[in-house]
Amino acid sequence: MLLVKTKLGISFIHGIGLFAAQFIPKNTVTWEYSPYFDTSYEEADVERMSPSAKEQFLKYAYFDNILCRYVLCFDDQRFINHCSESHNILSTVRRDVAAVDIYEEEELVCNYNCYDDTYFIRLGIQEITVTRTIQSS
């Protein structure tokens, strides 16, 4: 569940991105897993999906290795993009924290491999390495 104000916008990394709609100070928790808000699915649930539904689901879900289930964020957190080199969000399977001060209108980006090292393999895509400049104070 997102804990800061955000909005969606056009990403320079990929498609739609998640952007700050407020100033977010360093060390602020920006998102936290909530079993009452985010949904989780067993592998068998995913296997029963139609091919097109499964493809769409796996694009936005991540695998929680603590729950041993796929998690689909209910809110716009599912639009956070990946940047392996210069992310401004530190992620785990249960919580995201601002790594630096994040300014309004700045895209929130994380390293998917920090909480789901199977994402790119599952989707059969090559990880895109993007380097970006993060504003710092």
Tens digit of each residue's pLDDT (9 = 90 or more) over 14-30: 889 999 999 999 999 99
**Number of domains the chain is built from:** 1
> Which domain, by its residues, includes 13?
6-123
pLDDT digits (tens, 9 = 90+) for 88-136: 999 888 899 999 999 999 999 988 766 766 665 565 565 555 444 444 4
Task: Let me know if residue 130 belongs to a domain.
Answer: no
Query: Three-state SS string across the chain, please?
Result: CECCCEEEEECCCCCEEEEECCCECCCCEEEECCCCCCEEECHHHHHCCCHHHHHHHHHHCEEECCCCEEEECCCHHHHCEECCCCCCEEECCCEEEECCCECCCCECEECHHHCCCCHHHHHCCCCCCCCCCCCCC
Q: Domain for residue 36, yes or no?
A: yes
Identify the CATH number of the domain in which residue 90 sits.
Answer: 2.170.270.10
131 lies in some domain: no
The answer to whether position 1 is within a domain reads no
133 inside domain? no
